[in-house]
Structure 1
Amino acid sequence: MLIINKMPIFKDFTSIYKQNFEIGFQHCYPNGFLKHTEICNLFQIVAGIHADLGGISYLDMQQHQQAWVLSRMRIEISKLPKWKDVITIKTWIKTLENSRSIRCLEMYLNEEKLIGCETFWVVINTTTRRPDNLALPHTHFEKFETDSISQPIEKITIPEVFTYKNERKIILSDIDIVNHANNVKYLEWCLDVANVEMVLSNSIKALNLNYLQELNYNDVIEIHHTGNSFLITKEGKNCFALEIEI
């Protein structure tokens, strides 16, 4: 392990990180294919490991009362892996400046790219809950202006009227180490009220996710949806928007 400005950098750190996973039955839908939420979970794990190896993980940042918060995400899917497939996930940082960063992720099976993803992150101060310039050095991370998706991450245009509405309460299993609802949970809540055939037919080609406001334990939320558009609100305020592309 190397030390840069009192920040631990592991000796096997590289600016592009790869890790293999075997798809287990617990990761799959009844049809045997990888759940869309598990795509996000696996991407979250790999991004976290890479940040840890490079000394900009949650624990490193907590020394400065900081944490990464996901703001936007786009996932493009050409094919879903299935049970027992051994997939490779690759990640790198595209941009990192002040309080903002774009991280790219890709999923491969036997050298074939199945899924591409770009994530837009913001550094927040965990005391004030406001954006904060990253306090840790990051020049050892080489930045790669390589796209992992065909279309850029964008702000979702929210429909004025929704057809359906569901309510739920944020429970303990929704909460992560940053003490708010984990970002994967928002997608899970929406897919739970989506058309089942759409989800299980492997027809989803892209997911656009906008995180607008954090949610906490015991919050009561409303999930509004119509067609392939979803909006999560709390007390009339928009918290999350999702667009599904078929």
Structure 2
Amino acid sequence: MLNVNRPQIYKKPMDRSIFSQIIHIRSYESDLYHEATLTQIANYLQEAAGRHVIEMDLGISVADLIAKGLGWVLTRMQIQVFEMPQAYDTVQLDTFPTGFDKYYLYRDFLLKQAHTDSVCLQATSVWAVIDFAKRGIVPIPDFIKQMPLTAQPLMPSPKGKIPKIGQITHSRTFQVRWFDLDQNQHANNVQFLNWAIEALPETWLRANQAKRVDIAFRNEALYGETIHSQVAIDPEQITSLHRLLKDNQEEIAQVQIQWAARPMPK
């Protein structure tokens, strides 16, 4: 059963542990139903996380880490949608770190209508630090652990594995383009979500709305590589399982999406 309990609005402390920004949803960031696209929402979340580490002024921004031969990488994200904002809406996005362990930083997000406080969605994410020379994840450095933690998690941290894909019902092939790349020299994580969703048939996308997304990032995708997007749809549970593979069958991401029937237009 899909959990539709909305989080309580918290009172934000006056410190740097929580970052807030006002976003005006533009028409070109929305779909044919005038709703902000899921991939655009993921872009907002990543951008807010990046801006937050800059404003903390602790030497942990993307540029700061690159200068040390390191980089932030998103390893998992879960998004729970209550009501997707529409084109020309004004929304407030809050983000804050919620904890650390040896290899991972945990960060949550809350998106709400700026004028009414009506919650649009919440999300939780897991981040790691990559060593560019080793092309692998390293323990969270001590200077990053200076990041202040004052907010309570909105959602449980992602645990367990995404179920393995079953009988493939649809697939598409993509190529990593120049403008898919980010500052870490590989395809941006949001593009992975785009590849997963684009493998779904038009009839499914017209009939359903994504309500809960769980995406696990396994490996990077580099410029020019071919990406195979496979999906298995379960129409009874209204879910889809996705897998992204390279030509050599290396898995780069898994995705599970819970859908709900799209309301009929009034």
* TM-score strictly above 0.5: yes
Counterparts of 1:138 and 1:13 in 2: how far apart (Å)?
A: 17
Aligned-pair CA distance for 1:158 = 1.2
RMSD of aligned Cα (Å)? 2.0
Moved more, 16-25 or 59-68: 59-68
Name the structure 1 match of 2:245: 233
Counterparts of 1:112 and 1:174 in 2: how far apart (Å)?
A: 33
Asked if the contact 1:66/1:132 (under 8 Å) is kept, the reply is no
Counterparts of 1:78 and 1:180 in 2: how far apart (Å)?
A: 32
Point out where structure 1 has 5 or more consecutive residues left out of the alignment.
Answer: 1-11
Aligned-pair CA distance for 1:82 = 0.3
Asked if the contact 1:72/1:121 (under 8 Å) is kept, the reply is yes
Distance change in 2, residues 1:20/1:144 (3 Å) = same
CA offsets per residue over residues 183-236 of structure 1, 9 Å max, x none? 000111121221335445563210110101111001112111121111101111
Counterparts of 1:212 and 1:231 in 2: how far apart (Å)?
A: 10
How many residues get paired? 235
Q: 2:61 aligns with which of 50, 57, 61?
A: 57
Asked if the contact 2:124/2:155 (under 8 Å) is kept, the reply is yes
The 3-state SS of whatever aligns with 2:22 is strand
- TM-score, reference length from structure 1: 0.88
Aligned-pair CA distance for 1:243 = 0.8
Q: 1:35 aligns with which of 17, 23, 37?
A: 37
- What stretches of structure 1 move > 4 A for 4+ residues in a row? none
Distance change in 2, residues 1:57/1:200 (3 Å) = farther
Q: How does 1:127-206 map to 2 (within 5 A)?
A: 127-135=133-141, 137-138=143-144, 140-144=146-150, 146-149=152-155, 152-200=158-206, 203-206=209-212
Q: Percent identity?
A: 20
Q: How does 1:65-144 map to 2 (within 5 A)?
A: 65-109=69-113, 110-135=116-141, 137-138=143-144, 140-144=146-150
Name the structure 2 match of 1:220: 226
Asked if the contact 1:170/1:219 (under 8 Å) is kept, the reply is yes
Moved more, 119-128 or 146-155: 146-155
CA offsets per residue over residues 14-59 of structure 1, 9 Å max, x none? 1111000000011100111100001100011111000111231111
